[in-house]
Amino acid sequence: MTWWPLLRGIVARAVVAGPMLGLVVVPARAAPAMAPAAGGAVALAPHRAVYDLTLAAVTGGDTVSASGTMTYGVTDACASWSTQQQLRLQTVSRSGAVTDMESDYATLEAKDGHHLVFRTVQTSNDQSPSRIMGEATMTPSGGEVRYTQPSVHTVPLPAGTLFPMAHTAAIIRAAQDGEQAFSPMLFDGTGDNGAQYTYVMLLGWIQPPSASPYPVLARQPSGRVHVAFYTPASHDMRPDYAIGMRYFANGVSDRLDMDFGDFRMQGTLRSFTPVTAARRC
């Protein structure tokens, strides 16, 4: 699964209206670092996954109830990864007001890390949708994002910025190499102001069998991961939002933990289906 987020990260940013409470503490705002180059290639698995989202804790604020679903799919398009993600979330306030939020996100990411096409559409209580669309390119010296919505503008990307699937692969590679933390830049197309800092904590890497009802996942090594997301221009040591999950070596994730500030939700993998390529590349 990607972040944006993705995980990878992708989910929290799509629905958050305010600052998030972090799951991790970063000792200092340092320059971003790429994942270690050691280790072999990560074999990410095309698949479709559906997650049930349930309220785990309320820590203050106005929200008293929250539930939802998230559907995520990734397919192998030969030279690219195609991803689609849909999030449906309903919250209830102390006054009884119900808010229904939806987020639809899609990307086409070149496997060489040089190009990303992205689209994010968000709605709340059937209001007019907000859209973020465009494409990003990367070279060894840096890159840029060319937005077409919500307005036409260009934002530079620093050297070393990763796109979502590459970010997932970097996390798994670092875990396999025994790293405890690293801090890559991420651009996932869920915001209109360019890349984010991410701080990734790797909480061990366990060899199979892994506890999972799906045999293909039980045969995979796995480990817990926490990812905190920061706005580069901010001097606040608190992350904008943070997520946790268990990653399998093939890029599939379960046991999601999403911190929305005044409440936290858990994501349980309801269904998992491997996806076979429709044609040979």
State pLDDT tens for residues 195-230: 999 999 999 999 999 999 999 999 999 999 999 999
State how far the Cα of 204 lies from the Cα of 207, in Å rounded to an integer: 10
Give the burial class of 251: count Cβ atoms within 10 A of its Cβ; 0-12 exposed, 13-18 middle, 19 or more buried: buried
Cβ within 8 Å of residue 171, ≥6 positions away: 35, 200, 202, 225, 227, 247
Q: What is the pLDDT of residue 40?
A: 61
Q: Which helix (H) or strand (E) holds 133?
A: strand 130-139
Q: What is the pLDDT of residue 278?
A: 66
State how far the Cα of 116 lies from the Cα of 105, in Å rounded to an integer: 13
Q: What is the pLDDT of residue 172?
A: 97
User: Which residue positions in the chain have pLDDT lower than 50?
Assistant: 3-39
Question: Which pTM was predicted?
Answer: 0.86
Q: What is the pLDDT of residue 259?
A: 84
Residues across the chain: 281
Question: Which pairing describes strands 263-274 and 222-230: parallel, antiparallel, or unpaired?
Answer: unpaired
What residues form DSSP beta bridges with 80? 110
Q: Which helix (H) or strand (E) holds 15?
A: helix 10-15
